[in-house]
Amino acid sequence: MRVLVTGGAGFIGSRFVRQLEARGADKILIYDNLHPQVHGKDAIPPTFGPKVEFVNADIRDATQLKAIVANFAPTAVAHLVSETGTGQSYDEISRYVEVNVSGTAYLLEAIRALPRQLDWFLLTSSRAVYGEGAYVDSTGQHVSQARRFGTDMSAGRFQVYGRDGSALTEVPSASVTTQPDPLSIYASTKLMQENLVDNALSLTSTRLLVYRFQNVYGAGQSLINPYTGVLSIFIARLLNGLPIAIFEDGEISRDFVYVDDVVEAMMLGAMSAVVPRRPMDVGAAVSTRIYDAAVTLAKLAGKHDFAPSISGEFRPGDIRHAMADISYTHSLLDWSPKISFEEGARRLFTWAAESIKK
């Protein structure tokens, strides 16, 4: 098993590489440009064992990518390289399209030029493709592709409303039941990644493993990237005595899933013989208010009377609620998340506090 891992020096990718090492991969090639927004200036790749080779290269360099893929001749590929900031994507459209869409296209062309088909191709996608996700109305009727509008939010109406003007109730989203409805540039590029992979490889013998992640967090995530990792941003502010402001009316919620649980789902797919017929949702299957998450972290920092402020501000592309229905993923992989938010928050806080001290 020779595995190419794009983005293998990152938060999720480096853990996945170490699991591949531990579970029998013969050779692993990491393709990563150590982007300073994520890794900082003068970054160096993580330390791995003798099975792992690292190449510092950009996914947008089609010529170099094709040559490296041809020389390494992978039997499997995990594609994790991605620009991931919802807010940033609104302002940097071409960058997100070039990395997420064109980069994926270059990778697929390089794979199609190999003399043998891959055993599996793994893509890390996002719950962002669902947009606002799944809701039900006052009668219990399922409502798909619900949207919020700038005029409502400017007036302080942040809930998701039905056509009759009444507030809808959020329910878990899943690829089995929820139609994609991307509401940000980032989300649109992730859905395009899924479509490209399916179109390019679905008629081959390659097993396609597409994962739609909820909010992944944990020890090791970037503490300097202002566009991702809201929990690490909160921790940095708490430790520096800075205030925390929650957007909208304080009722925004997310499904926070710990990185080790995410990597285990990836490994179960890669190491099994399952052939998913649709993307697999990966989350904690629990919706946590951002406000409550901030309070939990504040208590870990010893600030038991801390109360975040409510800003009333909102960002283009942000969604109201998120929670995964993981039943399809569980049925395929016998996978369930093991780490509670309280335990995961403690691990993240402990690691971040030590890292910031350094």
Catalytic residue among 130, 161, 186, 227: 186
Determine the Cα–Cα distance for residues 96 and 80; give it in Å rounded to an integer.
Answer: 14
Query: What is the pLDDT, as a whole number, of residue 253?
Result: 97
The model's pLDDT over 122-168, given as tens digits with 9 standing for 90+, comes to: 999 999 999 999 999 999 999 988 999 989 999 999 999 998 889 99
CA geometry: angle 146, 322, 330, nearest 5 deg: 115
At residue 137, the pLDDT reads: 94
For residue 267, give the 3-state DSSP assignment.
Answer: helix
CB 276 within 8 A of CB 249: no
Please return the burial class of 233, using the count of CB atoms within 10 Å of its CB with bins 0-12, 13-18 and 19+: middle
Residue 358 has pLDDT above 70, yes or no: no
Q: What is the pLDDT of residue 224?
A: 83
Please write the tens of the pLDDT for every residue from 181-190: 999 999 999 9
Beta bridge partners of 324: 173
Structure tokens, 157: 């109406």
> 């919706």: which residue's tokens?
287
Token representation of residue 347: 């691990």
Contacts with 165 (C-beta within 8 Å, 6 or more apart), sequence order:
none
Does 186 participate in catalysis according to the annotation? yes
| CB within 8 Å of 251: residues ≥ 6 apart | 158, 289, 291, 320
Q: Which tokens hold the place of 233?
A: 């941003």
Task: Sort 172 into a burial class: Cβ within 10 Å, 0-12 / 13-18 / 19+.
Answer: buried
Of residues 60, 66, 68, 73, the one with CA closest to residue 104: 60
Q: For domain 2-357, give the CATH superfamily.
A: NAD(P)-binding Rossmann-like Domain (3.40.50.720)
C-alpha 320/C-alpha 169 separation (Å) is: 11
Across the range 5-23, mean pLDDT stands at 97
What is the per-residue pLDDT across 191-239, written as a single tens digit (0 to 9) for each? 999 999 999 999 999 999 999 999 999 999 988 887 778 999 999 999 9
Quickly list H helices, 34-155.
36-39, 62-72, 86-91, 93-96, 103-112, 150-154
pLDDT in tens, 241-252: 999 999 999 999
